[in-house]
A and B are shown apart, each in its own frame.
Chain A
Amino acid sequence: MKVHVKNWHAIAQWRWDTGASDVDDDGEGDVCGICRVPYEGCCPSCKMPGDDCPLIWGECSHVFHMHCLLQWISTSASKQQCPMDRRPWVTAERKVDANAAR
């Protein structure tokens, strides 16, 4: 018997490394607190997830879609505070993952 492959679909999966030490599967920890869309999805004003809709990390360790956070910070009500803990928002220098090869 001969099999001819007529077509095939390539499937790839990716996720942002949010710096969390372990991946929690409770489904709560990996969504953006502002729009409630998973980090791997994009913010409501973008069409496609990926590098065009990146994440932003705060020194306080909270993570959001960059677009969601910038929209919040631009409101006067935000007083430039983190949407989670209301501490002054300081964008963290993204540390290069030391154990990237795990």
Chain B
Amino acid sequence: MIKIWSMKKNEDAAAKRRPKTSAAQIRVQKDLTELELSSTMKTHFPDPTDLLNFTLTITPDEGMYKGGAFVFSVNINTNYPHEPPKVKCTQTIYHPNVDLEGNVCLNILREDWKPVLNLNSVLVGLQYLFLEPNADDPLNKDAAEELRKNREQFIQNVKTSMRGGNMRGVQYDKVIVQ
């Protein structure tokens, strides 16, 4: 027993000396191995040694956003999983739940986050936004209004925006992939 205690002391001292892998990194590593990426989602790590910052590209194969490639930045801070990942759309897109700065309104990224959720839940949630844009909890009020009042017009607006069109003085990014 005495041996174990002195061993433990040495380990504590060693831990103080070298910076250890953070809890967030360990947890993200586990999340990434459990990721079930479908053909419509792709991750990219600009710095392969940095698991906490990457991009996610969603290419919906159905719904009104079909044919587009939507790129999100995912930034995970050291409080993960106690804090949700920070997710932003890197393009200017026309979507009721994404504002023109790229902020995303998704309940599990905000008030409904809990540490037992993982990156897979976040990715699935994001993908769902492109299948079922939701007018009830809007960040882009114009888009939400259009979706509620005139679905056909909304779909037309989505098409225009995805081609890189200009609507109401807003220049949208071209997101169509060939």
Contacting residues, chain B, for A45 (C-beta < 8 A): 23
CB atoms of B115 and A44 under 8 A apart: no
Contact A84–B11 (Cβ < 8 Å): no
Give bound CA distance, A86 to B114, whole Å. Answer: 8
Contact, CB under 8 Å: A44 / B114: no
21 A-B pairs with C-beta separation under 8 A = A33-B116, A34-B82, A35-B23, A35-B26, A36-B27, A36-B31, A37-B26, A43-B23, A44-B22, A44-B26, A44-B27, A45-B23, A47-B11, A47-B15, A71-B82, A75-B82, A77-B113, A78-B114, A83-B115, A83-B116, A86-B114
How many Å from the CB of B52 to the closest CB on chain A? Answer: 14
| B12, B15, B27: the one within 8 Å of A35 (CB) | B27
Bound CA–CA A59/B30 (angstroms) = 28
Interface of A is mostly: loop
Interface residue from A43, A71, A84 paired with B116 (Cβ < 8 Å)? A84
The binding surface of chain B is classed by DSSP as loop
Measured between alpha carbons, how far is A64 from B116 in the docked complex, in Å?
11
A48 engages B27 (CB within 8 Å): no
Return the chain B residue nearest A35 by Cβ. Answer: B27
List chain B positions with a Cβ less than 8 A from chain A: 8, 11-12, 15, 22-23, 26-27, 30-31, 79, 81-83, 111-116
Which chain A residues numbered 33 to 77 have a C-beta less than 8 Å away from chain B? Answer: 33-37, 43-45, 47-48, 68, 71-72, 75, 77
Give the shortest distance, in Å, between B55 (CB) and chain A (any CB).
24
- CB nearest neighbor in B for A31: B30
B27 contacts A47, C-beta separation under 8 Å: no
Question: Which residue from chain B places its CB closest to the CB of A67 in the assembled complex?
Answer: B23
Chain A CB within 10 Å — which of B15, B113, B116 has the most? B116
Q: Please pick, from A34, A37, A48, the residue contacting B115 in the complex, using a CB distance under 8 A.
A: A34
Interchain nearest-CB distance for B61 vs A (Å): 30
> B111 contacts which chain A residues (CB < 8 A)?
77
Contact A44 B23 (CB under 8 A): yes
Interface string of A15-43 (1 = CB under 8 A from B): 00000000000000000011111000001
Q: Is the CB of B12 within 8 A of A47?
A: yes
Q: Which residues of A contact B27 (CB under 8 A)?
A: 35-36, 44
With A and B bound together, what is the CA distance between A44 and B79 in angstroms? 12
Q: How far is the CA of A23 from the CA of B26 in the complex (A)?
A: 26
Sample of 15 more A-B contacts, CB < 8 Å, known A78-B114, A86-B114 = A33-B115, A34-B81, A34-B82, A35-B27, A36-B30, A37-B26, A44-B27, A47-B8, A48-B8, A72-B115, A75-B83, A77-B83, A78-B82, A83-B115, A83-B116
